[in-house]
């Protein structure tokens, strides 16, 4: 029960951070993020999960964690490749902004927390974070990035990424559930 509470608190903290970002951005009127800034936030969000996967590869010995991390690295890299190809086609240069900066700052804290753990404690912290992170990113993409995007192709790309994020979330929850039964 305590474990569940910790996960919930962490997930809520992440969600609140994303909601705070959304509120800040939306309070300034639309559109507050340019497509260049949306592209930057999207690439940053994907790169962060690749970084989490790299830490898992380094620290975990659990087959299902390693396989999940490999899939995360490959899938999020595929999204980045698509986003970069599209920004090049549209002659848009991804531009750092409040959302991408906040994502990076939060990720640095999480990476430090993950690196401080080992063994089963690491596996649990990694998969708990994957559940919380994907929950937060799905919300940010649906409620912030997609509505803020003007270019139809970029909007389509972001929309097509959502099912992959949702599948990752379900997969992470599946592993989380299996681990809680061990």
Q: What's the closest the beta carbon of residue 39 comes to other proteins, in angstroms?
A: 15
Give one DSSP letter per residue of 35-61, joined into a string.
HHHHHHHHHHHHHHHHHHHHHHHHH--
Smallest separation (angstroms) from other proteins to the CB of 164: 6
The position carrying tokens 């305590």 is 2
**How far is the C-alpha of 129 from the C-alpha of 6, rounded, in Å?**
11
53-92 residues near other proteins, rule: CB under 8 A: 71, 74-75, 78-79, 82
Query: What is the rounded end-to-end Cα distance, in angstroms, of the chain?
Result: 15
In whole angstroms, give the CA distance from residue 80 to residue 86: 10
Residue 102 interacting with other proteins (CB under 8 A):
no
Residue 71 or 102 with smaller CB distance to other proteins: 71
If the CB atoms of residues 151 and 159 are measured against other proteins, the closer one turns out to be: 159
Q: Of the two residues 92 and 157, which places its CB atom closer to other proteins in the complex?
A: 157
Rounded Cα gap, residues 163 and 161, in angstroms:
6
Tell me if 106 contacts other proteins by CB under 8 A.
Answer: no
* 180 and 3 Cβ atoms separated by less than 8 Å: yes
160 touches other proteins by CB under 8 A? yes
Decide: is 105 part of the binding site for other proteins (CB under 8 A). Answer: no
Binding residues for other proteins (CB under 8 A) = 71, 74-75, 78-79, 82, 160, 163-164, 166-168, 170-171, 174
């Amino acid at each position: 029960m305590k474990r569940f509470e910790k996960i919930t608190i962490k997930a809520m903290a992440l969600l609140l951070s994303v909601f705070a970002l959304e509120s800040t951005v939306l309070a300034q009127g639309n559109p507050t993020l340019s497509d260049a800034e949306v592209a930057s936030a999207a690439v940053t969000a994907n790169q962060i999960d690749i970084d989490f996967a790299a830490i898992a590869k380094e620290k975990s010995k659990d087959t299902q964690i390693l396989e999940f991390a490999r899939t995360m690295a490959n899938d999020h890299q595929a999204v980045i490749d698509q986003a970069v190809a599209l920004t090049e086609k549209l002659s848009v240069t991804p531009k750092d902004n409040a959302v991408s900066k906040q994502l990076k700052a939060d990720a640095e804290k999480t990476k430090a927390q993950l690196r401080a753990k080992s063994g089963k404690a690491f596996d649990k912290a990694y998969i708990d974070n994957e559940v919380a992170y994907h929950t937060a990113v799905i919300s940010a993409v649906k409620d912030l990035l997609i509505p803020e995007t003007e270019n139809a192709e970029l909007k389509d790309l972001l929309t097509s990424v959502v099912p992959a994020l949702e599948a990752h979330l379900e997969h992470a929850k599946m592993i989380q559930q299996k681990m809680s039964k061990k």
